[in-house]
Amino acid sequence: MKLPCRPTADSLASGDGPCRIWAPKAEKVELLSGGRRRAMEAEADGWWRAVESPGHGEDYALLLDGQGPFPDPRSPWQPNGIDGPSRRLDHSRFVWRDQGWQAPPLAAAVIYELHIGTFTPQGTFKAASKRLDHLRELGITHIELMPVAEFSGVRGWGYDGVDLYAPHHAYGSPEELKTLVDACHGRGLAVLLDVVYNHLGPAGNYLSRFGPYFTDRYRTPWGEAVNFDGPESDPVRRFFIDNALMWLRDYHFDGLRLDAVHAIFDSSARHFLEQLAAEVKELEAALGRHLVVIAESDLNDPRLVRPPAVGGYGLDAMWNEDFHHALHTALTGESRGYYADFGGLAPLAKVLGRGQVYDGCYSAYRRRRHGRPAADLSGHRQVACLQNHDQVGNRARGERISQLLTREQLKLGAALLLTAPFVPLLFQGEEWGAATPFLYFTAHDDPELAAAVRRGRRREFAAFGWPPEEIPDPQDPATFAASKLDWSEASGEQQAELLAWYRQLIRLRRSIPALNDGRLDRLRVDFSEEQQWLRLQRGPLTLLCNFAAQPRRLPLPAPAADLRLLLASHPTAAFANDTFTLPGHGTALLQSSP
């Protein structure tokens, strides 16, 4: 069968055109809508067209060779969940108020990752919009939503989505998601969306009924791999790229974060990621709005963000896990699992100055060499954090960094994050040291799947020495409820102090050019493993960090008379001749005289 390079993307979901479905496996496709059952007409290359299409807001489903009913693979709305009928949606009906909006560049970004279901007590798009002023006052420029595509049940992280074109029904309607994005833009906040293109969830995944969306030539840790490079893969690639373009075009998102791209397997001459990046750039030109694509990967491969002309994929940025691991271990001393590859201040100094710790050197945890040099990259090409959903939620008890460190250590970690050369990312509630955990939670209706998830979670952590009975049950509604942010905490005395610290740091980052240049070659790091201090210099700024529990005198980069104190985590921090005294776990930001 000869497949076109760019087959038409129309489907039942389009809302204002003829209904078309790609189902090359089927001999007969029927449309169920309005109590009627109508055969669809076969077209070339496995496509089917409805003779009479449902209108906006009407429910419909599909029968394949008499089997079903199934939702549309491109369903724009699943108001009754993954097994219910699809509902047609005309995106052009929504009235946007963000004309002329442009997102701030990543070079100036401070990203805030949030999970709609736990960000507010209500857990909805509508409720999230009521907290936007808090984020604007904090100094956030970009909100990053964890996945919102329809998944099994009413609770979940979102990484097991199956109806990738439909916002999760428990969070609200498609119109309410658009209203949230519109409200963000009205407050000067860009919005990024986390999307998952490496696998689909185990429940409600009907794609294989329609066509060869998956392949057994590769395997992911979460299930079947997507068929990006095998026979009939062109329409599969089109399906996922059209999904990305839909979120950017029809929901006005300003960019995407691609989950775990190391599990997107593609041996094609033009990798899926390169094609995706190129088509997003085409859409950017057509819309006249700046758009970005950020990748998560554990390969430490800068090829992701290098231009195609030199063999790269042309993405805008990638997550820097090495920065998190190096900072986390320096603060906590943890050494289990992949943290065994870090520890001490040397890895932290290296990632600050070279962009990555594992840049082709040997990894004891992996028992092989890992990564590739990235020191020539701008720091704007890497997103760094002190914590994120994975690093919190993949702990057995979902402890945030605030549950592992003292208040002074939290200030130290925040200062390094927000003065580092990378694009900083905060996780919801981090700014006040939220005490609520962020646990792994699910709400699968299938009892066998629910039991399998429960067993898998306990087995995973038992290998690290955790008693199985101490692992929270993902299916228990109490696990989800415990993970919701408690906004009343933010007004507590200690929490307000930390919140003010974050606001000050973000304000300085946004106002001082040296903190925004992304130039690793202009940065200098000195440290002492024995005395447990680190000194970071960026242009006229010097960040002094004491990782020890005892006070330390740190050497200054210039005579004390030529320096002034901009910010200190504790009032006892002070100049002492040509040194600077910091209390235990203290930090201070200095500026040299012009």
Q: What's the pLDDT tens digit per position in 381-418?
A: 999 999 999 999 989 999 999 999 999 999 999 999 99
CA 357 to chain centre: 21
Please tell me which residue in 72, 274, 296, 316 is annotated as part of the active site: 296
What would the mean pLDDT of 489-508 be, rounded to a whole number?
Answer: 97
Report the C-alpha gap between 202 and 448 in whole angstroms: 11
Residue with tokens 């507590």: 492
- Enter the pTM of the model: 0.96
Extended strands (E) in 98-179: 111-114, 142-145, 149-151, 161-167
Report the C-alpha gap between 564 and 175 in whole angstroms: 51
The pLDDT of residue 15: 56
Please tell me which residue in 182, 259, 341, 431 is annotated as part of the active site: 259
| 3-class DSSP assignment, residue 40 | strand
CA 26 to chain centre: 36
Q: Is 296 a catalytic residue?
A: yes
Q: Is 8 a residue whose pLDDT tops 50?
A: no
Report the C-alpha gap between 83 and 336 in whole angstroms: 40
Percentage of the residues of the chain whose pLDDT score is greater than 90: 91
Q: Is 154 a residue whose pLDDT tops 70?
A: yes
Give Cα separations from 588 to 94, 110, 445, 478, 565 (angstroms). 49, 21, 52, 41, 7
List pLDDT tens digits, range 559-584: 999 999 999 999 999 999 889 999 99
Residue with tokens 């910091």: 582
Token couple for 382: 């890497």
CB contact at 8 A, 429 and 483: no
For 239, list phi and psi in degrees, rounded to 5: -60, -45
Residue with tokens 């055969």: 39
Q: Which residues pair with 528 in a beta bridge?
A: 533
The pLDDT of residue 7: 40
Alpha helices in 251-319 (DSSP H): 272-287
| Domains contained in the chain, CATH given | 12-91 (2.60.40.10), 106-510 (3.20.20.80), 522-592 (2.60.40.1180)
Q: Is 238 a residue whose pLDDT tops 70?
A: yes
CB contact at 8 A, 373 and 543: no
Percentage of the residues of the chain whose pLDDT score is greater than 70: 97
The pLDDT of residue 16: 61
The pLDDT of residue 399: 96
Q: Select from 456, 413, 449 the least CA-distant residue to 431.
A: 413
List pLDDT tens digits, range 186-196: 999 999 999 99
What would the mean pLDDT of 469-484 be, rounded to a whole number?
Answer: 94
For 420, residues 6+ apart whose C-beta sits below 8 A from its C-beta are 323, 352, 379, 384, 536
Report the C-alpha gap between 584 and 546 in whole angstroms: 6
For 469, residues 6+ apart whose C-beta sits below 8 A from its C-beta are none
| DSSP classification of residue 442 | B
Token couple for 51: 């003779």
Q: Select from 317, 381, 375 the least CA-distant residue to 351.
A: 375
The pLDDT of residue 124: 98
The pLDDT of residue 3: 38
CB contact at 8 A, 1 and 232: yes
The pLDDT of residue 460: 81
Positive or negative, the Cα torsion across 272, 274, 276, 282?
negative
Residue with tokens 């921090």: 573
List pLDDT tens digits, range 416-453: 999 999 999 999 999 999 999 999 999 999 999 999 99
Helices 493-511, 407-419: crossing angle, 10 deg rounding:
20
Exposed/middle/buried for 566, CB within 10 Å: 0-12, 13-18, 19+? middle
Report the C-alpha gap between 427 and 194 in whole angstroms: 14
Q: Is 52 a residue whose pLDDT tops 70?
A: yes
Sheet of 552-555: strand order equals: 552-555, 579-582, 574-576
CB contact at 8 A, 571 and 503: no
Q: Is 553 a residue whose pLDDT tops 60?
A: yes
The pLDDT of residue 9: 43
- β-pairing verdict for 149-151 and 533-538: unpaired
Exposed/middle/buried for 431, CB within 10 Å: 0-12, 13-18, 19+? buried
For 579, residues 6+ apart whose C-beta sits below 8 A from its C-beta are 553, 554, 555, 556
The per-residue DSSP string of 98-119 comes to -TT--PPPGGG--EEEE-HHHH
Q: Is 63 a residue whose pLDDT tops 60?
A: yes
Confidence of residue 4 (pLDDT cuts 50, 70, 90): very low
Q: Is 259 a catalytic residue?
A: yes
Start-to-end CA span in the chain (Å) = 70
Report the C-alpha gap between 55 and 18 in whole angstroms: 10
CB contact at 8 A, 212 and 23: no
Exposed/middle/buried for 204, CB within 10 Å: 0-12, 13-18, 19+? buried
Name which residue leads in pLDDT, 10 or 351. 351
What would the mean pLDDT of 347-366 be, rounded to a whole number?
Answer: 97
What would the mean pLDDT of 2-12 be, rounded to a whole number?
Answer: 41
The pLDDT of residue 10: 43
For 390, residues 6+ apart whose C-beta sits below 8 A from its C-beta are none
Residue 270 CB neighbour total at 10 angstroms: 12
What would the mean pLDDT of 495-522 be, rounded to a whole number?
Answer: 96
Q: What is the mean pLDDT of the chain?
A: 95
Respond yes or no on whether the N-terminal peptide bond of residue 69 is cis (omega within 30° of 0).
Answer: yes
CB contact at 8 A, 538 and 349: no
For 136, residues 6+ apart whose C-beta sits below 8 A from its C-beta are 187, 188, 189
Confidence of residue 1 (pLDDT cuts 50, 70, 90): very low
Token couple for 486: 């408690």
The per-residue DSSP string of 405-433 comes to S-HHHHHHHHHHHHHSSSEEEEETTGGGT
Residue with tokens 């740091």: 505
Report the C-alpha gap between 533 and 207 in whole angstroms: 54
Exposed/middle/buried for 346, CB within 10 Å: 0-12, 13-18, 19+? middle
Confidence of residue 470 (pLDDT cuts 50, 70, 90): confident
Confidence of residue 466 (pLDDT cuts 50, 70, 90): confident
- What CA dihedral angle connects 449, 451, 452 and 454, to 10 degrees? 120
